[in-house]
Structure 1
Amino acid sequence: MNKTFFCLLLTGLSIQFSLAQRSELSVEKIMKDPSWMGTFPSNVKWGEHGENIYFYYNLQEDPSDSLYKINIKNSDEIVKVHWKDQEEFIPSNAVSNDAKTKKLYVKDGALLLYDVKRRTKQSLLNLGEDINDPQFLADENFISFTLNDNAYVYNFKKGNLRKLTNIKSGSKSSDSETSLSERDQWLEKENLGLLEVVRERKENKEASEAFREMTKNPEPFTFYSGARRVSDITVSPDLKYATFRLITRSDADKTDVPDYVDASGYTVNLPARSKVGSEQTKVELAIYNIEKDTAYLINTENLPGITDLPDYTEDYPDTDWEKEVREVIPSGAYFSKNGEYAVVNVRSHDNKDRWITRLDLESGELKNLDRQRDEAWIAGPGIGYSFGGGTFGWLPDNRHIYFQSEETGYSHLYLLNVENGNKKQLTSGDYEVFDPFLSNNKKYWYLTTSEVHPGERHFYRMPLMGGKMEQLTSMTGNNEVSLSPDEKYMVIQHSYSNKPWELYLKNNSAKGEARQLTSGQSEEFRSYNWRDPQLLQFEAEDGAMVPARLYKPEEGAKNGAAVIFVHGAGYLQNAHKWWSSYFREYMFHNLLTDLGYTVLDIDYRGSAGYGRDWRTGIYRHMGGKDLSDQVDGAEYLMSEHGVNAEKIGIYGGSYGGFITLMALFTEAETFQSGAALRSVTDWAHYNHGYTSNILNEPSKDPIAYKRSSPIYFAEGLEGNLLIAHGMVDVNVHYQDVVRLAQRLIELKKENWEMAVYPVEDHGFVEPTSWMDEYRRILKLFNETLLEQQH
């Protein structure tokens, strides 16, 4: 037999064998409406009195999820909540007093008080306009709230209402006389000289006006906000001060996204966002001294390091960098319960500094208590973003504040004494802390951590001033805990790698088993043996150990091909032990594995869950270590799992689409094919909040943008590329792939195609769109990774 013919025959048989692999799954099945999988609980919360657990669910095949409840004394029954009963609920944003016996909330613009013990509601105020942000003050008979951008206090025992601030928009108008022209001045003078009565009347009028001005009561103080919007008015618990933020919105140009399939039949432009580097919102913090009836801005110019230049400026020696006071974003004031102290969390606009400061309310000066500097950018669990948020507050002693910081490289919980500046770290280790909060009696912390494993989450209790943490959950996976109002019970929203979310009930202790309350999987979903992917680590080129999830086919089904999946969002974790938010992709990976593919899902550099250094590993070079981690993953598959070097594909959406493009354009020797979904193609066209953290601003750090944007590397395309994008994507605009398509056309590239989805935004909604997209992805891999000559 001819040797060449024999090789071709073997190749043909190999292709037939590979394509003969079958799966119980299909793209049509896994990409249809997710209701086929069953119903799973979401938005879990306790009732006011700890008797019922409420959650969204769907037992009756409704068009969307509805509110259901389980009574903990009759936990075998899941009951749908009637909409009339929901009308009587106390809103989740209701504010409790210290003893948690009363709650304030606003409904239909009116202020109401709920007595938890008596289970009674009392209408306190209805002023015909919307009341906002009610708060109990130090004397809990007094309640502060805002109305029309001003602060008020209400004594609900006596029924007294008092306006505390006088803030108005715009500026104080001037009543200065209109100046007369030289000609008109001459005419008036001539006229008054000729007509005595007219002259006398004018003199009398001027004398009367001067007298009234001397004897009238002084005008009350008014703070004019100009064109700035007033927000976050906070009254001190002792009623001496109020603070408020002044927001100046930028006039940056925004990109319109055309909707070609609007119901009107016309093309309608959807307002979207501006691009990175555009003028940003300015935020100022002001103090209203109620006793002195005056207001003034806080001073941020003396913060330590406020004029520091970032290290990246050293890469531009020919630029004349001037040290200037940087723009900052102050939070609102956090007052101690007794009103004696106020602290402000300040972030620099470039997000390289966070200062925790004590505010001198008399002068408006800030005293630095803690400065966190990161040459990349400040972030991490519990640290919040530029406009506030995150873990921050006061202990009941009125001396200590608590917050989270990445000072050690992982986000941990700290206390800081505002009187002497002493700082104490409460948690430590190579793990991260999530969502800490104080117990009702203020003696303990409750918190979630990844101490057991980066891919697990457990719930703990810890003494107020630190000490041994007691682990209260034990089920492997993710345990999202809500405590009952009396803290006697935990309702646990739990999932595992191959098991979607269900509810469990457990006593608030380390002992005892959690009792399952829901079981929502459909028979159709349960009938398939969903894989529990292997959690592993492989070594990257720089020695780092990279976390990943591996899907391995049966030895007899193995086709030698592999697909690497790149999760989106950049800062997100997907190599973990719980049910993935990428559930469609998880099911697709099961399908691929049935067909003989080996699938690797990597938590590359930039992913969440592994501390500061991993988070910032992409600083100033997206498509650097985050891409080399994919290449090293491919090397691992070849060396450890027998994957053929010519049969490796890659795909992902959003950030994953961006990495796919960079892989096909710059690592052609590794990746034969790729599907880039809703991809960023040029980071200079993405938004400011996300991009400027990682790459700084295009006009200031063009090096970072040029080496990070796929459109600059399109000439490197050698493999097979599928581009898929929604045309009404208001996050990553369709314009991104249009520009890239033109670039590929000009480069005369032939081995690419683009699928567009006229009705889809960034996250697809329609099952038909999901099906079409993933049929194309599967076809791409089958045709280019399996049907090739060797």
Structure 2
Amino acid sequence: MKLALRHVALGLFSTVIIAGCSTTRLDNQTAPQTNTKVMLQAPLDAQTSLTLKQIMANPDWMGILAKGAYWSDDSQSVYFYRQKSASPLKDYYQQPIDSEAAKKLAINELHKADQQRGVINKSGTEKAYLFQGNVFVKRLSTGVVKQLTRFNRPANGLQFLVDNDIAFWQGNAVYRIRRTSGLIEQIADIKMAQKPKSIQAPQSYIAKQQHRLIEYVALQQSHAVAQQNYKQQRQDLDPTVANMTWYLGDTEAVNAMSVSPSGRYIILSLIDKNYSWRGEHDIMPNYLGTKGYVDAVPARARVAEDNPPGERLVVLDLEQRKKVNVTIEGLIGYDEDVLASVKSENANKKNQKYDSKKQPRKIQLMQDWGWRQSAVQWQQDDDRVALMIEAVDNKDRWLTTLNLTTGQLTTQHRLHDDAWVNYNYNQFGWVPNKQSLYFLSEHTGYSQLYTKALDGKLEALTQGRYVVSQLELGPEQEFIYYRANKDHPGIENVYRVHLNSGKSEQLTNWQGKLDYDLSPDGQKLLLQASKRIQPNELYIQHIGGELKQLTHYTSDVFTQYPWQAPEVVRVPSTHGANDVYARVYLPQGFDPSKAEQYPAVIFNHGAGYLQNAHYGFSGYFREFMFHNLLTQKGYVVMDMDYRGSKGYGRDWRTAIYRNMGHPEVEDLKDGVSWLATHANVDRQRVGTYGGSYGGFLTFMALFNEPDLFQAGAALRPVTDWAHYNAPYTSNILNTPDVDPIAYERSSPIEHAQGLTKPLLIMSGVLDDNVFFQDSVRLVQRLIELEKPMFETAIYPVEPHGFKQPSSWLDEYRRIFKLFEQNLKNN
């Protein structure tokens, strides 16, 4: 359970996918420029050329897709929601797997819907879940749902105990529902405060004299001591009184909590109560506030000022009424100076010498950003626990077991990375009925699946140059299911491996991207899957049987248009890296034998660690359509998974360590060479653009390789990494106080003097991810450098992912104009 937000938004995404609707009637009239109506200039068909107004319109015309899909408990139907792009509300549906139609659920039916995040009891007969903060239990054989609590204050988490009781917690109070009697018992009251002092005997001369001479004072003291002693006896001996209050001090706050299967132990993660991910000094001004004034919106901290304190782990033994502090000495390398070489390099630059010393490092529970599981995993029917812990410096991740009596950690597996440990691929759990663990690790260079007996060696269940993710333990507990891109980095399928034999088998044969959910009966897979020109729909894959499409929410008008599916190609590297994967869109009527060469555009995806050169439908759906439009205008378009991108293993990811924007630009150079050789592109007529991290790369390319591109557009761009957030940036560049060399090397504002080609800078004023100030600072830097070849556009109401169709349209009109003016032979 997370009680406080530790990490802010991680990646640098250029767009936010806002899914659309089923078949929509379109007419020849231009719809009003609003958020709530579909806006198209004309019906879209094979004879119609794309327009920017159409591409950037409210995306509902593409189809309102199914989201958040999960199985019903009987494995016979699927639940999901749909949400119009401009609506703050979601509509929830249930669709039987043998039906073509889904039923929209009424508000008074939602509590009966099988809950995605419920927990199953040991016997597999009941499921407990939270709905609107209250505890419900469902009898799986009959489907009967019973509400067990009705509070105004919502519960934060729950779990079944081994005796079928249910533990749940509200804030820092932990309760147990006695199933046989229905009694709700508070088993722990955790106070982040100093323990009240007991009544002391008089200490000073004056006090002693007062008690000796004034009988009334002495009597009052005697009564107070008697009442205190009696209250403690009631706490200890009276069976009707709740367990004692735990006073854990007033300097920390509870960040995470987990209760053991027996209900005896509680593990707490504590953090400095004064720490906040919000910045101490800055605000984000909203110039168009609802009251007509400038609203000062609180902003997140920057990596240059953020100082995460780490976490302290504590075990509460409710039976022995004992608090045990967890010690970190059992973490192999817990006191290593893992940044010694970095600190030495930075000291040498200042003509200083760095003296390396060992000292304990700050640690915290590790949250898997890819799968969002708890970092505390209990064995199903025993008070045996495993923890996933990370160093705040991002260089180590430990899979450990914890002695609940002594607080001692034992390292089961240490994953060290001189660059940084991936924030994905950290799933783990207990192998059923064995004293062993399963987990993912990148230590061979690719995320693979392993098991390890607590007193034994590591065993690999998967091996290869591919990425394993999304683990699920089957209901019979004999298989672990997983997703992997074994056949091609851009193609994902579902597999399962037998825990005893180690044999893997492929369960799907999909030629694109997918997420999956195993049915409770273990017989079917629910897929959310897409292909290059086919947005996500839901499918049912019967294991060993047929694949059936469950939903058809992509609109006919989108489906029937002859979109160009980009080719996924391999671009040879001239810089000592592996081949670079890229999408390529060729112009209509492409003829490589033509004497006239083509102009080209290279798109740089956002997030840094994101994959876009795959066989699924791109999350950048507007850019996908824009690239189709560019091909109709005679451009070749490339979309490259430069170094640092996801899907290609550890070394591809960490190639940018302390050097952001340099390996990636080398890859872009290879991309231009490939286009010139294989797509008849004129090297002197190539432009580039991208948003967020893609905007950062646009800067780095134009500033450091001024002859590579003839023009560039940077959307919502990072200009100085010292101003971005700590969780993301400190992974790759460490922190500015420790490694200023990396920040100066990697921040565009440090290289702005290299600009010689036209540059367009576009930012949203309400961007709380990459601050508008990033662009303001760079613009002033360019002005002072007397650079005349840049223009800016601001969007007063837009956050990082734009919302208004009018803003999208204005932005891409400017990008298109930039390319038309600078890349065409006029």
TM-score, normalising length from structure 1? Answer: 0.89
Partners of 1:395 and 1:401 within 8 A in 2: yes
Partners of 1:243 and 1:286 within 8 A in 2: yes
Structure 2 distance, partners of 1:522, 1:644, is 38
Distance apart, 1:530 and its partner CA: 0.8
Structure 2 distance, partners of 1:475, 1:298, is 46
Higher deviation after alignment, 82-91 or 664-673? 82-91
Structure 2 distance, partners of 1:166, 1:520, is 49
Pair 1:437 & 2:437 matched? no
Instruction: Write the deviation string for residues 230-286 of structure 1: whole angstroms up to 9, x where unpaired.
Output: 243322223432212212241552531101111211110111200104221431111
Number of residues of Structure 1 aligned to a counterpart in Structure 2: 747
Structure 1 distance, partners of 2:557, 2:257, is 53
Q: Which residue identity lines up with residue 169 of structure 1 in the other structure? A: M
Alignment of 1:220-235 (within 5 A): 222-225=245-248, 226-235=250-259
Structure 1 distance, partners of 2:219, 2:573, is 92
Partners of 2:168 and 2:176 within 8 A in 1: yes
Distance apart, 1:131 and its partner CA: 3.5
Alignment of 1:646-661 (within 5 A): 646-661=684-699
Structure 2 distance, partners of 1:66, 1:672, is 47
Pair 1:308 & 2:336 matched? yes
Higher deviation after alignment, 645-654 or 129-138? 129-138
Partners of 2:64 and 2:83 within 8 A in 1: yes
Q: Evaluate the alpha carbon distance shift between residue 677 and residue 396 of structure 1 in structure 2; reply closer, same or farther with a 3 A threshold.
A: same
Higher deviation after alignment, 312-321 or 543-552? 312-321
Other-structure match for 2:573: 540
CA-atom RMSD in angstroms = 2.9
Structure 1 distance, partners of 2:820, 2:813, is 10
Q: Which residue identity lines up with residue 297 of structure 2 in the other structure? A: L
Other-structure match for 1:694: 732
Q: Which residue identity lines up with residue 271 of structure 1 in the other structure? A: P
Alignment of 1:552-701 (within 5 A): 552-553=586-587, 554-555=589-590, 560-701=598-739
Partners of 2:491 and 2:614 within 8 A in 1: yes
Other-structure match for 2:33: none
Higher deviation after alignment, 207-216 or 533-542? 207-216
Structure 2 distance, partners of 1:471, 1:206, is 77
Partners of 1:380 and 1:411 within 8 A in 2: no
TM-score, normalising length from structure 2? Answer: 0.85
Partners of 1:381 and 1:433 within 8 A in 2: no
Pair 1:31 & 2:56 matched? yes
Higher deviation after alignment, 492-501 or 610-619? 492-501
Other-structure match for 1:717: 755
Distance apart, 1:67 and its partner CA: 2.9
Structure 1 distance, partners of 2:385, 2:83, is 46
Other-structure match for 1:150: 173
Tell me the SS of whatever aligns to 1:163: strand
Partners of 1:45 and 1:54 within 8 A in 2: yes
Pair 1:366 & 2:389 matched? no
Other-structure match for 2:326: 298
Other-structure match for 1:382: 425
Tell me the SS of whatever aligns to 2:625: helix
Q: Evaluate the alpha carbon distance shift between residue 147 and residue 398 of structure 1 in structure 2; reply closer, same or farther with a 3 A threshold.
A: farther
Q: Evaluate the alpha carbon distance shift between residue 523 and residue 441 of structure 1 in structure 2; reply closer, same or farther with a 3 A threshold.
A: closer
Partners of 1:56 and 1:68 within 8 A in 2: yes
Alignment of 1:228-377 (within 5 A): 228-249=252-273, 250=275, 253=280, 255-277=282-304, 278-309=306-337, 310=339, 311-315=341-345, 316-317=347-348, 318=352, 319-330=354-365, 333-377=376-420
Pair 1:408 & 2:451 matched? no
Structure 2 distance, partners of 1:46, 1:411, is 27
Instruction: Write the deviation string for residues 154-191 of structure 1: whole angstroms up to 9, x where unpaired.
Output: 32023344433342121124477899999xx69x97xx
Pair 1:782 & 2:800 matched? no
Partners of 1:23 and 1:591 within 8 A in 2: no
Other-structure match for 1:94: 118
Q: Evaluate the alpha carbon distance shift between residue 273 and residue 209 of structure 1 in structure 2; reply closer, same or farther with a 3 A threshold.
A: closer
Higher deviation after alignment, 156-165 or 113-122? 156-165
Q: Which residue identity lines up with residue 102 of structure 1 in the other structure? A: E
1:427 to 462, 478, 502: 462
Partners of 1:105 and 1:112 within 8 A in 2: yes
Partners of 1:150 and 1:233 within 8 A in 2: no
Structure 2 distance, partners of 1:409, 1:280, is 28
Tell me the SS of whatever aligns to 1:591: helix
Distance apart, 1:119 and its partner CA: 1.5
Distance apart, 1:581 and its partner CA: 0.3
Q: Which residue identity lines up with residue 77 of structure 2 in the other structure? A: N
Q: Percent identity?
A: 38
Structure 2 distance, partners of 1:641, 1:197, is 102
Is there any run of 5+ residues in structure 2 with no aligned partner, and where?
A: 1-46, 237-243, 367-374
Tell me the SS of whatever aligns to 1:681: coil
Pair 1:118 & 2:159 matched? no
Pair 1:762 & 2:809 matched? no
Instruction: Write the deviation string for residues 701-741 of structure 1: whole angstroms up to 9, x where unpaired.
Output: 00000010000111111000000000000000000000001
Instruction: Write the deviation string for residues 78-133 of structure 1: whole angstroms up to 9, x where unpaired.
Output: 44333343343243222112343211123444432110111212233446643442
Other-structure match for 1:18: none
Q: Evaluate the alpha carbon distance shift between residue 749 and residue 101 of structure 1 in structure 2; reply closer, same or farther with a 3 A threshold.
A: same
Q: Evaluate the alpha carbon distance shift between residue 320 and residue 200 of structure 1 in structure 2; reply closer, same or farther with a 3 A threshold.
A: same
Structure 2 distance, partners of 1:299, 1:61, is 50
Structure 2 distance, partners of 1:717, 1:61, is 39
Structure 2 distance, partners of 1:89, 1:26, is 42
Q: Evaluate the alpha carbon distance shift between residue 289 and residue 781 of structure 1 in structure 2; reply closer, same or farther with a 3 A threshold.
A: same
Partners of 1:380 and 1:612 within 8 A in 2: no
Pair 1:138 & 2:162 matched? yes
Structure 1 distance, partners of 2:64, 2:245, is 56
Q: Evaluate the alpha carbon distance shift between residue 178 and residue 773 of structure 1 in structure 2; reply closer, same or farther with a 3 A threshold.
A: farther
